[in-house]
């Protein structure tokens, strides 16, 4: 039986990756760790969607402007 609001899924991961996760969180924290990773990826996907929409509306980002801004932020 799963907790309210949760679904149970079966996923396959490379053994080395699973071992690295278990070494960080143990067996009881594995699902939460995977859920956080999926949430982070969904946030990145949403940001990619926003950036693609902005690029389609305003054209590509000028890399020279980005470098200039990065230099100002670093300096």
Give the side-chain half-sphere CA count within 13 A for 26: 2
* pLDDT band at residue 1 under the 50/70/90 scheme: low
Distances 68 to 55, 61, 65, 71 between C-alpha atoms, Å: 19, 12, 5, 5
Residue 25: which residues within 8 A CB-CB, separation 6 or more?
A: 32, 33
First to last CA, the chain: 55
For 12-37, the pLDDT digits (tens) are: 999 999 999 999 999 899 999 999 99
Task: Round to whole Å and give the CA distance between 23 and 33.
Answer: 12
Using pLDDT thresholds of 50, 70 and 90, give the confidence band for residue 75. confident
Give the whole-number percent of the chain exceeding pLDDT 90.
89
Q: What is the mean pLDDT of residues 33-46?
A: 97
Would the pLDDT of 3 be above 80?
Answer: no
């Amino acid at each position: 039986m799963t907790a309210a609001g949760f679904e149970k899924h079966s996923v396959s991961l490379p053994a080395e990756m699973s071992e690295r996760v278990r070494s960080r969180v143990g067996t009881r924290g594995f699902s939460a760790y995977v859920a956080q990773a999926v949430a982070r990826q969904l946030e990145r996907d949403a940001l990619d969607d926003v950036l693609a929409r902005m690029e389609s509306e305003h054209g590509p980002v000028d890399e020279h402007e980005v470098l200039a801004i990065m230099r100002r932020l670093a300096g």
